[in-house]
Amino acid sequence: MIKNLFRGAFRAGAAVLASSTLLAFAQAPATPYPSKPIRLVVPYPAGGATDFFARTVFSQVGELLGQPIVIDNKPGAGTTIGSEQVAKSSPDGYTLLIGDMGTYALNASLYKRLRYSPATDFVAVSLTGRFPLFLVVNPRWTKANSMTELLATAKQSPGKLNYGAPGPGSPLHVAMDLFKQQAGIDLVAVPYKGGADAVKDLLAGQIQLMFLDSATALPYIRSGTLTALGVASNRRAPAAPEVPTVSEAGLPGFEAYAWQGFVAPKGTPPAVIAKLNASFATAMKDPGIQKKLADAGVEPLTSSPEQAAQYMASETQRWAQVIQKSNISLD
């Protein structure tokens, strides 16, 4: 009987201890996010447009969050290397990706074997910015001084004009394919691994024209080294208001941007996404950041996660039609 009393008392005490322990765990505050540095993967080399944006804006985002955001450049394979790494990362908010329309909209149609899914492996945080695309020529080597003259020359001599296509399937490449399709002209694509090599050949007269993002194009336009025949946005770029839109200059309705956004791996808690989104929106209001972006010709964007996801989906559908018609395919 005494043994039974001891046994009952022990069981009761154990039950009380277990209940107290569970209650303590339930009441213990979760570790606040973020509690350590955040890694932001840029799937391009240092020095490019996406890298410029990341380093300009996300240091301020880190200050607002109370933890540094470390830029990690993972270039290669049309942004797929860095994107795949993030897609397979832990969904805890400590690994993020800032990519562009290639990452989120083009690659799904371009690659036969894409090892990440832009639609299902990420959760969108926010759109970040758009880079107007300028259609440029070298005035020393190209007689066309206006969009009308360029279109006339291309129609009179089909297949005679060459354009730079940096990174097959890149935003600059598919923008030119859309231009050709809408204008009904035949231009010859000359592929390049990157924009720097293409610009070098444009300056040397090896190719006649190409689209360039605003951050790359503006210094050449301002110095008179390259002539901008049009900007592919729906309105004139504030950084170069003298340049007409492509639509104004001779191809009505044409529009193309190189846009960006940042995402987290699928499964990242909604509270973390909301905090990242709010911090980014606040950073984008900083006057110093706004000036740096404006000087580079970047059109800043902010959005809700839902708006970013919807835009990425609509752009995927839009550019899939252009890629299919151009018969572009990458391994």
Q: Which residues contact 130 (CB under 8 A, 6 or more apart)?
A: 233, 257, 258, 259, 260, 298, 299, 301
Span 116-124, average pLDDT: 96
Q: Which residues contact 329 (CB under 8 A, 6 or more apart)?
A: 110, 112
pLDDT value, residue 231:
97
Domains in the chain and their CATH numbers? 38-131+258-326 (3.40.190.150), 132-249 (3.40.190.10)
Percent pLDDT > 70 in the chain is 91
Neighbours of 6 (CB within 10 A): 10
pLDDT value, residue 153:
94
- The answer to whether 165 touches 176, Cβ cutoff 8 Å, is yes
pLDDT value, residue 108:
93
On average, the pLDDT of the chain sits at 89
Q: Which residues contact 5 (CB under 8 A, 6 or more apart)?
A: none
Lowest mean pLDDT among 166-175, 270-279, 282-291, 301-310: 166-175
Residue 61 scores a pLDDT above 70: yes
Residue 18 scores a pLDDT above 50: no
Span 214-231, average pLDDT: 94
Residue 90 scores a pLDDT above 50: yes
176-194 tens-digit pLDDT? 999 999 999 999 999 998 7
Residue 1 scores a pLDDT above 90: no
Residue 99 scores a pLDDT above 80: yes
25-36 tens-digit pLDDT? 444 446 899 999
pLDDT value, residue 331:
73
With CA atoms as reference, report the closest residue to 230 among 160, 169, 290, 182: 182
